[in-house]
Homo-oligomer: A and B are copies of this chain.
């Protein structure tokens, strides 16, 4: 991703600050259909198409992060993680359109060494969709490709702070970080800022530093400031909290790898055959070597075959190769990836066991540690390797780290003062899904095994329900008439054994016949849906009064409803 100064981007002064949700009927007319298609250069058509396809591939990385993080954390926090990841995509794209793109690529006119801003919201004139904007892509392609990168950076944070951060805190942090910190830092190089104008310019091809370490620094600061999950470090005890769904985590890593072909391959910013194909090769070799490095290191340090570490090894190799994917030789790519794979295992263990920083998914090790390693590798291996380059790489790493670390610290500190960062201990132990979302990520995997009868509390509970239910029935104006002269005590016994069968998962078919017989005379007396519904209402009231959980009430009523036609002899 080379520096691209936007000489031709027109400033649209019509769009004022805060216009975001103002109804703008007829105000905005896309300048698309008017473009003459005559004689467009091949580079422009093909390069543009490739960047759009790469955009879609990078989009899929968000699913990769969502599934990886949900897979590596605990069962009870799954919905919370997914929720955060869905929100981030929305926040990332919208804020990047509102402010981020124009902060990161302000164009020559507005650029500075450290900061530049060319106004709110995205827009272009007709030239923006011609090679006059860029010989390889349109203004819109430029925006949407970069927008997907922006959202990626913050997603990295969500894994490190998972399972204990308050959801509002995370969303506010993500909003501020992606709107301001990510684009300001990115501008330093990709927007033509001071790191691009060093004597030996800092080099970061696709974002080992500007995407991965930017996310990684916030992950580091966030997880330190939040503190570890409860029980993670108690006394001298280090508690390994195992992942809940490794197939899901594996899906995540493969999707990230797939998306990385767009992330790195698209960062060529053209469809140049030599460059894009070469980047595909180094990216693949880096990832493959990362797995190998992680495997060998794991065998030495952990002494068993740890799938999660292997998955992190693949990601480590990918993060590591990202800064120099177009500059490293093929063997350099293997070495860089292999070292990254080993590094990530050692780093996870060091951060977890020695530094006692709790990072549930290893995001700091993957994105920050390997992001730094990959950035430095550009100064060590490949076409650019030199003392001067290495020095520039160190300058870039340090300056980005200082800014992002400070930025994160300030934002988290302000939020902490206002609302606090963590959920309460009670919520954390029970799981964030229950408290913040009122739902479980995986319902029915456990509770359906036991028959409803048992879940309701067995004989005692069903008996209590029936007693209360009949009390209500016999007091009900519409229904009590039907029970005159009936031996209620006997009925109650029948009802108890009937419910034992019905709620016991028994065959409803056989009950059906008995019910038909038992209710035939009532049907002749005229009972119908109204009475049946009334009965169901009273049963619900009885169950609710006995504090039966809402879900079980639903299940009970579902069962009863299945017998309506039998009761009513239809």
Contacts and interface: CB of A to CB of B under 8 A. Distances in A.
A428 B555 CA distance: 12
B86 A429 contact: no
A137 B276 CA distance: 11
Interface string A202-245: 00000000000000000000000000011110111101111111
Interface in A87-115: 87, 89-94, 97
Nearest to A335: B23
Nearest to A45: B46
B97 A285 contact: yes
Interface majority SS on A: helix, strand, loop or mixed? helix
A461 interface: no
Contact of A246 (B79, B261, B438): B79
Contact of A273 (B27, B141, B285): B141
B29 A231 contact: no
Interface string A17-29: 0011111111111
Contacts of A560: 231, 234
Contacts of A349: none
Contacts of A524: none
Contact of A332 (B24, B231, B271, B438): B24
B540 A235 contact: yes
Contact of A558 (B230, B245, B246, B308): B230
Interface stretch (A47-55, A187-195, A404-412, A478-486): A47-55
Interface stretch (A121-129, A363-371, A392-400): A121-129
Nearest to A560: B234
A232 B276 CA distance: 49
A8 interface: no
Given A231-B554, A276-B52, A277-B144, A66 B23 contact: no
A570 to B, nearest CB: 12
B280 A29 contact: no
A255 interface: yes
A21 B334 contact: yes
A306 B185 CA distance: 34
Nearest to A46: B45
Contacts of A436: 304-305
A438 B66 CA distance: 25
A380 to B, nearest CB: 6
Contacts of A242: 439-440, 443, 551
Nearest to A442: B245
A469 to B, nearest CB: 13
B292 A555 contact: no
Given A66-B250, A76-B444, A558 B277 contact: no
A536 interface: yes
Interface string A52-72: 110111011011001100110
Contacts of A247: 67, 70-71, 78, 82, 245, 248, 441-442
Contacts of A561: 230-231, 234
Contacts of A173: none
Interface string A532-553: 0111110010000000001101
A44 interface: yes
Contact of A329 (B30, B42, B59, B137): B30
A526 interface: no
A154 to B, nearest CB: 14
A388 B89 CA distance: 36
A468 interface: no
A463 interface: no
A200 interface: no
B45 A273 contact: yes
Interface in A483-515: 505, 507-509
A558 B400 CA distance: 36
A361 to B, nearest CB: 15
A479 B562 CA distance: 52
A280 B49 contact: no
A293 to B, nearest CB: 10
A278 B329 contact: no
A188 B242 CA distance: 48
B144 A281 contact: yes
Q: Output the residue of A29, A137, A560 with the most chain B CB within 10 A.
A: A29
A523 B563 CA distance: 60
Given A304-B436, A443-B75, A557-B239, A44 B273 contact: yes
A40 B28 CA distance: 37
A420 interface: no
A28 B280 contact: no
Given A32-B326, A246-B78, A509-B426, A280 B140 contact: yes
A311 interface: yes
A562 B231 contact: yes
A428 B246 CA distance: 20
CB-CB nearest 5 A-B residue pairs: A231-B558, A28-B329, A129-B274, A75-B444, A63-B254
5 contacts: A43-B45, A56-B57, A93-B285, A241-B554, A304-B436
